Amino acid sequence: MAADRSHIIIVNGEAHDFSGGSLRALIAGFGIDPDRRGVAVALNGEAVPRAAWDATRPVPGDRIEIVRPLAGG
């Protein structure tokens, strides 16, 4: 039996099962274009520069906040 490689992370206050990968892949998995202007990410309360999204790998228990602009008034 293969080992379960998924783990729980907290994204915008909600628990999510994440099987691993980069922060960029996580953002895209939420349907957010990681190349879109205005998207910002914090990992455990610290801002993560866009240039580090490919190399940053969330681990179990990490808290991630994804912030993006919304249209409207």
pLDDT recorded at residue 63: 97
Domain count, the chain: 1
Whether 42 is in a domain gets the answer yes
Whether 23 is in a domain gets the answer yes
Whole domain around residue 19: which residue ranges?
A: 7-61
pTM, to two decimals: 0.83
Q: 43-55 as b/e, with b when 16 or more CB fall inside 10 Å?
A: beeeebeeeebee
Whether 13 is in a domain gets the answer yes
What digits encode the pLDDT tens for the residues 48-58?
999 999 999 99
Strand partners, 14: 11
pLDDT recorded at residue 3: 46
Low-confidence spans in the chain with pLDDT less than 50: 1-3
pLDDT recorded at residue 1: 42
Domain of residue 18, CATH code: 3.10.20.30
Whether 44 is in a domain gets the answer yes
